[in-house]
Amino acid sequence: MNVFASALGAAAIVLASASGALSARTDLVLGVVLEPPHLDPTAGAAAAIDEIVYANIFEGLTRIGPKGEVLPALAESWEVSDDGKTYTFHLRQNATFHDGTSFDAEDVKFSLERAMAEDSTNAQKVLFSAIESVEVVDAATVRVSLKHPQGSFLYNLGWGDAVIVAPESAEGNKEKPIGTGPFKFQNWARGSSVTIVKNPDYWGEPVALERAEFRFIPDAAASVTALLSGDVQALPNMQAGDALPQIEADSRFKVVIGATEGETILAMNNGKEPLNDLKVRQAISHALNRDEIILGASSGHGVPIGSHFSPANEAYVDLTGLYPHDVEKAKQLLAEAGYPDGFSATLKLPPPNYARQGGEIIASQLREIGIELEIIPMEWAQWLEQVFTNKDYDLTIISHTEPNDINIYAREDYYFNYQNPEFNAVIEELELTADPAKRNELYGQAQRIIAEDAVNGFLFQLPKIGVWDAKLEGLWENSPIQANDLTKVRWTE
């Protein structure tokens, strides 16, 4: 009886609120895949943190826009000295932190120095490695001196790891993030969702949404049903590509397929027999059928790549024709390398679908040329330890989602075990070059070198499959960085 009465009461309340909602909605529930470990983007590498707080709660001096461009944020404007080594930033003067403390040059100095410090737990410390010193000129001006010119410096400052925090609240940001952004943190129901609300004291253009909830739905199937049942209104990164036809057929939803910065590769251990042989790597590259891989591992969405570079970038060079799918050629190369009957190797796979399903397809394709792969699926924890840290692997499949990260091929001791002084020289020059045309040319050279060396099997650019309510606008189509920027999101009607 009691249950029944409360059910009636609930129905009445639902009706009342529905009839009252004649003006456009101002609330939004987004489904995201992973729950972040905490909410401080300056103390963790997890993309799940940036996917909630970036541009919404925290802001940096600069920010990255929807097309990957560098935009002003807490720095209104800046000047660069002629030698490219001194940056002078002019700061917003009416910005405040969510706890009421004001934002000024001291906060900038504090944040950058904290990220650079010896005992810093910033996961992208390398972003700040070029900084020599940070100097407060006055409350609204900061001067940053670099050790050497760095072409990507303004871009680096736009990363989530470089956001500005206040000394008063920095320690508590993991649990209760306090930034300068247009949304304030409200609540974190662990295992379930994070809720943010509109910041009425925001310095810039106020946001349209009053309240947004990021709900954690790790399971692909569950996210689809949650969308269909209306529990969530947007899935910025849908995992279940095969369910798309069903959603596309439903006029309530909009499907937007964009690009990410994720180069999905079959990484090879260049330091280990027989993969240290160029001919073997070329043979593998010829054996890969990218169309089949994209169809099976990514439901047919995703642009094939021939090197470690995003096709959306203006410096992109199309190298997909370098190693066309050619089983005979592959077998011949393998024989020339001394493996006429192929060989056995391991393929270690992290959890995402593209890796697990792509792995089965690649194993089947390499079997055609006599290479028997043993598939070893692993959790992230094991993958990070065995493959990434200890380089104990032959082959693996992984999407490198950091933007513009071709320079990882120049890193010493990186898990590819790839060494090429010629390539390193190109990257060094790139570091010191600010001229855009010259930079593009160098990027082109870099792409060509690793493609010719067949360092890895270059598969495809990971798509961003966004699905949301057709009445919703302003969500990002592509993902140049990992973020769910809600500043321009609104309900139409």
Partner 1 sequence: MSADMFFMPAPERHFILKALQNRSFLIGLVITAAIALMALISLFWTPYDITRLQVAARMQGLSLSHPFGTDHLGRDILSMIMIGARNSIAVALVAVGIGFGIGVPLGALAAARGGWIDDALMRLNDVVFAFPALISAVMITAVFGPGAVNAIIAIGIFNIPVFARVARAGALSLWPREFVLAARAAGKGRVLITLEHILPNIMSLLLVQATIQFALGVLAEAGLSYLGLGAQPPMPSWGRMLFDAQTRIAVAPHLALFPGLAIVITVLGLNLLGDGLRDVLDPRLRHER
Partner 2 sequence: MTAFLAKRLAVGLITLLAASVIVFSVLEILPGDPARIMLGMNASPDALEALRIEMGLDRPILARYLDWLAGMATGDFGRSYTYSSPVLDLVWERLAVSLPLAVFALSLSTLIAIPVGVFSASRRGSAADTITMGAAQVGVAIPNFWFALLLVYVFSVGLRLLPAGGFPGWGESWAQHWQAFKALILPAVALALPQAAILARVTRSAMVEVLGEDYIRTARAKGLPRTQVLWRHALRNAMIPVLTIMGLQLAFLLAGTIIIENVFYLPGLGRLIFQAISQRDLIVVEGVVMLLVASVILINFAVDICYAIVDPRLRAGR
Q: Please, is 211 exposed, middle or buried when counting C-beta atoms within 10 Å of its C-beta (0-12, 13-18, 19+)? A: middle
Query: Which one of partner 1, partner 2, none interacts with residue 37, CB within 5 to 8 A by kind?
Result: partner 2
Comparing CB distances to partner 1, the nearer of 44 and 359 is 359
Window contacting partner 2 (CB under 8 A); options: 101-109, 117-125, 282-290, 430-438: 117-125
Q: Which residues contact 157 (CB under 8 A, 6 or more apart)?
A: 60, 61, 62, 127
Least Å distance, CB 219 to partner 2, is: 6
Task: Give yes or no for a contact between 266 and 288, defined as CB atoms under 8 angstroms apart.
Answer: yes
Reference 65, options 57, 73, 75, 77; nearest CA is 73
Comparing CB distances to partner 1, the nearer of 386 and 404 is 386
| Torsions phi, psi for 97 (to 5 deg) | -80, 160
- By three-state DSSP, how is residue 150 classified? coil
Beta bridge partners of 461: 263, 303
Comparing CB distances to partner 1, the nearer of 68 and 241 is 241
The gap from C-alpha 63 to its chain's centroid, in whole angstroms, comes to: 14
The only residue of 21, 24, 37, 132 in contact with partner 2, by rule CB under 8 A: 37
The only residue of 27, 135, 168, 231 in contact with partner 2, by rule CB under 8 A: 231
Q: Which residues contact 197 (CB under 8 A, 6 or more apart)?
A: 183, 184, 186, 210, 211, 212
Task: Give yes or no for a contact between 236 and 464, defined as CB atoms under 8 angstroms apart.
Answer: yes
Query: Which one of partner 2, partner 1, none interacts with residue 186, CB within 5 to 8 A by kind?
Result: none
Residue 191 makes contact with partner 2 by CB under 8 A: yes
Residues that bind partner 1 (CB under 8 A): 219-221, 224, 239-240, 242-243, 245-246, 292-293, 295-296, 351, 356-357, 359-361, 363-364, 367, 375-379, 382
Residue 379 makes contact with partner 2 by CB under 8 A: yes
Q: Which residues contact 390 (CB under 8 A, 6 or more apart)?
A: none
Q: What is the distance in angstroms between the CA of the first residue and the CA of the last residue of the chain?
A: 40
Least Å distance, CB 121 to partner 2, is: 5
Query: Which one of partner 1, partner 2, none interacts with residue 245, CB within 5 to 8 A by kind?
Result: partner 1
Residue 19 makes contact with partner 2 by CB under 8 A: no
Residue 130 makes contact with partner 2 by CB under 8 A: no
DSSP 479: B
Least Å distance, CB 367 to partner 1, is: 7
Residue 44 makes contact with partner 2 by CB under 8 A: yes
Between strands 372-377 and 344-349, the pairing is parallel
Reference 182, options 122, 110, 92; nearest CA is 92
Q: Which residues contact 88 (CB under 8 A, 6 or more apart)?
A: 78, 79, 80, 81, 137, 141, 142, 143, 144
Residues in binding contact with partner 2, number by CB under 8 A: 52
| Torsions phi, psi for 261 (to 5 deg) | -90, 20
The only residue of 70, 80, 116, 123 in contact with partner 2, by rule CB under 8 A: 123
Least Å distance, CB 284 to partner 2, is: 24
Comparing CB distances to partner 2, the nearer of 320 and 386 is 386
DSSP 403: T
Residue with tokens 């500043």: 487
Residue with tokens 């101002």: 26
Least Å distance, CB 177 to partner 2, is: 12
- Using CA atoms, how far apart are residues 228 and 34, in angstroms rounded to an integer? 20
Least Å distance, CB 306 to partner 2, is: 24
Comparing CB distances to partner 1, the nearer of 99 and 379 is 379
Comparing CB distances to partner 2, the nearer of 126 and 470 is 126
- By three-state DSSP, how is residue 326 classified? coil
Least Å distance, CB 16 to partner 1, is: 33
Residue 466 makes contact with partner 2 by CB under 8 A: no
Binding-residue pattern over the window 282 to 321 for partner 2, x denoting contact by CB under 8 A: ----------------------------------------
Query: Which one of partner 1, partner 2, none interacts with residue 192, CB within 5 to 8 A by kind?
Result: partner 2
Comparing CB distances to partner 1, the nearer of 221 and 470 is 221
- Using CA atoms, how far apart are residues 115 and 122, in angstroms rounded to an integer? 6
Reference 49, options 486, 484, 488, 438; nearest CA is 484
Comparing CB distances to partner 1, the nearer of 279 and 356 is 356
Contacts with partner 2 by CB under 8 A lie at: 3, 6-7, 9-10, 13-14, 35, 37-38, 44-46, 118-126, 174-175, 189-192, 215-219, 221-222, 225-226, 228-232, 379-382, 384-386, 388-389, 402
